[in-house]
């Protein structure tokens, strides 16, 4: 509506507007008519609501450049603000205030019912084939990554298992004992063998799971970052 001529700079407007009516070729004349209170006849009331609205909008859009207060003449205020009877307007105002919906709720409702869903993709044959190829490659990449993670976890599991088995068959002197002498057969890890407690002491201690189920330290639970802080935890922090 109010399109400004790009050639007019802010400086020229600030110079021109407060003094006189700017040249008609700078801005559209229809919108200008509203803005110029200086040439408006003093006794003419603002009749239409649209004119008032566009006047406000224009002022807002021009706000940074034309910062001046339009003081309405006393004649104008009397005509607009005090009609002959106040009761009807007051009643109406009160009713509207009671029933009025918060504009924020109106905005929320508007945006909930107007989802900006784009139209579905529509490709020609070659372009769809290209798209499909890239998609297959992406799926392949994801699968490879998942497989690598799984294999890494499996490798750790296997080495942990081998270590536990080694500890189970370990003597106090660090010698390996036979299966018959060792304990820990079956589901009970604490079961003792022929040579009693001196075989697989570390294994039994590991399988006790002491302190596992209590709580994980808070310092552990930090999400990995590219650039972690120099000191990881502020131990000096107190509640102020």
Partner 1 sequence: MALRELPLRTASAFCSHVRPVAQLVRPSFRRNSSSEALYGIEPWSPFSVPPPSEELSKTFDPVARSKLRRRGKRELPPSRYQYRPPKYYRGRLHPHQPPPVSDPSSRLFQPGPFSLPRLEQTYQSTIAPDVLTLTYQHYPPGYRAPKLDQRLREWTGESPYFRNRPLRPPRGRGDHLRLLTPPRTFRNVPKITKVTIHSMVPEAQENSAHLHVAGMIVQAISNIRATTHKARHNVVGWGLREGKYVSVTANMEREDAHHFLAKLVDVVLPRIKEWKGVPASSGDGAGNMTFGLTPDQVALFPEVEVNYDAYPPKMIPGCHITIQTDATNNKDARLLLQAIGLPFFGKLND
Contact residues for partner 1, defined by CB under 8 A: 101-102, 104-105, 107-109, 111-112, 115, 121-126, 128, 131-132, 135, 138-139, 142, 149-150, 153-154, 156-157, 160-161, 164-165, 168, 184-187, 189, 203, 206-207, 209, 212-213, 215-216, 218, 220-225
The residue among 63 and 216 lying less far from partner 1, judged by its C-beta, is 216
Tokens 């706000």 found at: 63
To the nearest whole angstrom, how small is the minimum distance from the Cβ of residue 208 to partner 1? Answer: 11
Task: Report the residue number, 89 or 222, with the smaller CB distance to partner 1.
Answer: 222
CB of 148 to partner 1, least distance (A): 10
Q: How many CA atoms lie within 13 A of 222 on its CB side?
A: 12
Task: Output the smallest distance, CB 198 to partner 1, in A.
Answer: 18
CA distance 158 to 148: 15
Q: What token pair was written down for 102?
A: 């918060």
Q: How far is the CB of 203 from partner 1 (least distance, A)?
A: 7
Rounded CA-CA distance 98/195 in Å is 88
CA 39 from centroid of its chain's CA atoms: 50
- Quick one: 44 or 135, whose CB is closer to partner 1? 135
Spatial CB neighbours of 171, under 8 Å, sequence gap ≥ 6: 177, 195, 198, 199
């Amino acid at each position: 509506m109010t399109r400004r001529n790009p050639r007019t700079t802010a400086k020229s407007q600030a110079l021109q507007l407060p003094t006189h009516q700017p040249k008609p070729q700078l801005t559209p004349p229809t919108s200008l008519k509203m803005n110029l209170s200086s040439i408006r006849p003093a006794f003419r009331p603002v009749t239409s609501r649209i004119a008032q609205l566009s006047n406000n909008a224009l002022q807002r859009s021009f706000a940074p450049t034309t910062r001046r207060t339009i003081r309405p003449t006393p004649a104008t205020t009397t005509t607009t603000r005090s009609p002959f009877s106040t009761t009807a307007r007051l009643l109406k105002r009160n009713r509207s205030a009671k029933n009025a919906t918060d504009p924020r709720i109106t905005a929320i409702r508007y945006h909930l019912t107007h989802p900006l869903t784009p139209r579905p993709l529509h490709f020609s044959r070659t372009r769809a084939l290209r798209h499909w190829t890239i998609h297959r490659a992406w799926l392949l990449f994801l699968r490879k990554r998942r497989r690598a993670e799984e294999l890494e976890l499996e490798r750790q599991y296997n080495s942990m298992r081998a270590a536990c088995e080694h500890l189970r068959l370990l003597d106090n002197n660090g010698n390996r004992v036979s299966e018959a002498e060792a304990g820990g057969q079956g589901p009970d890890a604490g079961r003792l063998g022929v040579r009693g407690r001196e075989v697989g002491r570390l294994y039994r201690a590991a399988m006790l799971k002491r302190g596992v189920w209590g709580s994980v330290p808070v310092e552990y639970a930090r999400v990995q970052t590219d650039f972690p802080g120099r000191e990881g935890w502020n131990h000096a922090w107190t509640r102020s």
